[in-house]
Amino acid sequence: METTNNAAATKPVAAPNFRQIGSDFAAGSAKLASIAQRVIDGNGVADAKAGTLKDEARDGIKAGMQVCFCESDKPVTYVREGHDSYRALGADEKLPKGKGLKLTASYAVGMSGRDFGKLKGEQPNLHALIKAKRDRISNLISTSYGRLLQLIKTPEGRGTRGEIQDWAARVAEVFETLKKGAKNARTRGDTTVPDSDAKIATAFKTALKALTA
């Protein structure tokens, strides 16, 4: 009489890639509600009612979001005019040889806490530029992660209404980012950006209209 080894016949269940889930959610590469469901299916939820995740899921998802936001963040090129003196490179300006600084989000968030703290005392202006990048990525992660938790916490939020609300929140987030970016650019003396929130809103609406034409 033959026996069947059921254990050997059972296919192993692949461990969820929470880092990839975080990256997908940040990029909006699929319906956000379906990505939230992947966290639930992957046993990454600690308490659905409270909207909390297990440490492994939380850390992996945030790491994935960070990678995605860093990759999509536009680098800023500065002209070094002296020790700890920088200004944004003009749109049509040629970068002077040996005086350029290309600041990427990956570099900013990848700097160790020790080096970042040390820089504040040695080059406070450069520290401020790097801090702005770090804060931007941190805020994007916080907003995106909070949105993910809300979708997990509220079952009805994973329906059509929740997706529409989520999309509206993403549009508002982009607009707020544009406003902050323009404000920072004006502070640095960049005259190529709109000089008011109203003009930014007009440009934003024009761009959206062109995309849907």
Q: Is residue 104 part of a domain?
A: yes
Computed over every residue of the chain, the mean pLDDT equals 82
- What is the token pair recorded at 16? 């969820």
Residue 197 inside a domain? The answer is no
Q: Is residue 187, in this structure, part of any structural domain at all?
A: no
Report yes or no on 6 lying in a domain: no
* Per-residue confidence (pLDDT) for residue 2, from 0 to 100: 46
Is 5 within a domain?
no
Instruction: Write the CA distances from 199 to 20, 90, 133, 169, 188, integer angstroms.
Output: 37, 20, 24, 21, 19
In a domain, 158, yes or no: yes
Look up residue 90 and give its two tokens. Answer: 């003009």
Asked whether 33 and 159 are in contact (CB, 8 A), the reply is yes
Residue numbers of the chain with a pLDDT score lower than 70: 1-14, 155-170, 209-213
pLDDT of residue 155: 64
What is the amino acid identity at position 201?
A
Element (H, E) at 112: none
Residue 40 domain-assigned (yes or no):
yes
Sequence-ordered strand ranges (E) for the chain? 45-47, 52-53, 76-82, 85-88, 100-103
* Count of domains for the chain: 1
pLDDT at 191: 76
Predicted confidence at residue 19, as pLDDT, reads: 95
Token pair for residue 191?
């005259």
Provide the pLDDT for residue 164: 54
Is 210 part of a structural domain of the chain? no
Structural domain harbouring 122: 15-169
